[in-house]
Amino acid sequence: MDNILKTCIVDDDSIYRFTMVKTLESTKFPMDIMVFSDGEEAINFMLDNIDENSKYPDVIFLDIDMPIMDGFQFMEEYIKIKPRVGKKITIYMVSSSLDPVDIERANNISAISDYIVKPIGVGRLKKIIEELLEERK
């Protein structure tokens, strides 16, 4: 099995995307990183590659508040295509929102693994990546 973790960041904040990429790279784990600036770009990528699971990410760090298609709208569309997705994708909802309504809403979507409040520290990222790589062994 390929030991390179395909990692996806979906966030409209270009500074946050840059910081996340640099933080992920600093972990020195083998990974391919893809970034999208909104949920629509990300879901369109998935639809365009629906028969090519090898192009799909293993993990998605998904922002809530984005223009065009927010994180919850992305999840609605993802759940529709999930039966056609031939691989397990771990999704973390990532937001600066501490609103209990957002947290509860994310926790009620079974396809979301966890809700993480921004910023994600390097220690938390390393732990997530280590767990994902361990699952693949």
The pLDDT value given to residue 136? 78
**All domains of the chain, ordered by start, with CATH?**
5-135 (3.40.50.2300)
Global pTM exceeds 0.85: yes
pLDDT in tens, 58-83: 999 999 999 999 999 999 999 999 99
Residue 37 has pLDDT above 50, yes or no: yes
Please state which of the ranges 7-11, 73-77, 90-94, 122-126 shows the lowest mean pLDDT.
122-126
Residue 108's CB: how many other CB atoms inside 10 A? Answer: 8
Helices (H) then strands (E): counts for the chain: 5, 5
pLDDT greater at residue 53 or residue 93: 93
- The fraction of the chain above a pLDDT of 90, given in percent, is 88
| Amino acid found at 35 | V
